[in-house]
Amino acid sequence: MATSATALISPRPYQQQSNDQFNALKYLSTGAAFHEATGHGISKETPDQCVIDQAHLLMRHGERYPTASSGKKMQELLEKLKSSTTETVYNPLGFVHDYEFFVSNSSDYGKETYYGPYSGLADAFFFGSELRQRYNHLVDADHTLPVFTAGEKRVYDTAKAFSQGFFGNGYSGDFQLISIPEKEEQGANSLHNKDGCPNFDNDDNVDSALEDENLQYAQYEADRLNKLGGSGYNITVDDIFIMGDYCAYENNVREMVW
């Protein structure tokens, strides 16, 4: 009886194929919806011989709307493209003529997204529920757990949603949100944004280094779109960066089809 070649090969304990194919979320700037980093085959589960006796979580906020200043730039870019785009077969941005800006209510600027597949508040809630299951043995239900949060509303709302997930669904215990104002005089702390570090925020060398790394690909993309769109286009390097943010935040607000 013939024996297949595969039958002579010992079972492989580690898969060789890559399941981490193209994922648009990895190319949508820092405003993109949460996505895990590429793994290295290390299990998330606690090894049988180990016991977790302490856990710390550090996060700022989840998926959100753009700020008002960023949103203004995005809307201005959309209007620019609408007024200059020609409808041709090969025009990759010809669809903008009938495209509506994704922020319909200006009061939503800066807030966590609260509906859709990439809802920041929903993600925070379910994350809290997931961690409660994982670390339930660490919770002292007889004492109120302090949850520290920055004063920014979207950060506070994220902390609240997370805590509701952590203590909801019949779990015992309670929490208290402790808000720390985000002011320069507060100094740097683990909850602050970059304003807590004036040297970084005002360091021209940092901006120059980032520009050197990014301008080459952005200029190539601007030239490509201008060529495809015809003479009506005037897309700049700055526009390319705004496009990346636009896609990220629109995806947070309403699901995009790629």
Domains of the chain (ranges; CATH) run 53-253 (3.40.50.1240)
Residue 57: both structure tokens together: 């979580």
Angle at 229 between CA 224 and CA 235, to 5 degrees: 65
Residue 105: both structure tokens together: 């209510």
pTM of this prediction exceeds 0.85: no
Task: Compute the Cα dihedral for 207, 210, 216, 217 and give only its sign.
Answer: negative
Beta-bridge partner residues of 18: none
Q: Which residues are catalytic?
A: 61
Per-residue pLDDT of the chain (258 residues; tens, 9 = 90+): 555 555 556 666 656 565 666 788 888 888 888 887 776 777 778 888 999 999 988 888 999 999 999 999 999 999 988 887 565 556 777 788 888 999 999 999 999 999 888 999 999 999 999 999 999 999 998 889 999 998 889 999 999 999 999 998 777 888 999 998 877 776 667 777 776 666 665 555 555 655 666 678 888 989 888 887 765 678 999 999 999 999 999 999 986 655
